[in-house]
A and B are shown apart, each in its own frame.
Chain A
Amino acid sequence: MNQHSLFIVPTQHKAWFDAQAEALGNDGPALVLALSPTGQAPATHGWCGVTLSAAKEAQVQVLLDAYPEMDVDWTRYDLGTDPGWPDQRAAELGLQRIQTPFT
Chain B
Amino acid sequence: MNPFRRRIQTAMQSGGGAAAFSPTDIAGLQIWLDASQIVGLNDGDAVATWTDASGNGYNATQGTASKRPIYKTSILNGQPVMRFDGVDDFLENATFTALNNATAASLFIVKRQTSGAAIRFPFLFVNSFYQFNLGGGPKYWRTSATEDANATLDWTTWTYEAQLFDGSQSGNANRLKIRSNGSPVSVSYTGTIAATLGSGTGFYVSTLDGTLYPWNGDIAEIIGYSTVPSAGQLALLEQYLAAKYGL
Contacts and interface: CB of A to CB of B under 8 A. Distances in A.
Interface of A: 1-2, 4, 6, 21, 25-30, 32, 34, 47-51, 79-80, 83-84, 86-87, 97, 99-100, 102-103
Contacts of A80: 72, 83
A29 B64 CA distance: 7
B119 A28 contact: no
Interface string B204-223: 00001001110011000000
The bracket for how many chain B residues form the interface is 20 to 34
A59 to B, nearest CB: 14
Contacts of A26: 64-66
A1 B211 contact: no
Closest A-B pairs by Cβ, 8 of them:
A28-B64, A49-B87, A84-B115, A83-B114, A1-B44, A50-B66, A49-B85, A83-B115
B118 A47 contact: no
Interface string B36-68: 000000011010000000000000000111110
Nearest to B87: A49
Contact residues of B: prevailing secondary structure: loop
Given A28-B64, A30-B66, 10 more contacts: A27-B63, A30-B88, A49-B88, A79-B83, A83-B116, A87-B115, A97-B118, A102-B119, A102-B132, A102-B213
Given A28-B63, A30-B64, A50-B65, A87 B88 contact: no
A99 B132 CA distance: 14
A102 B124 CA distance: 15
Contacts of B134: 102
Interface in B183-223: 208, 211-213, 216-217
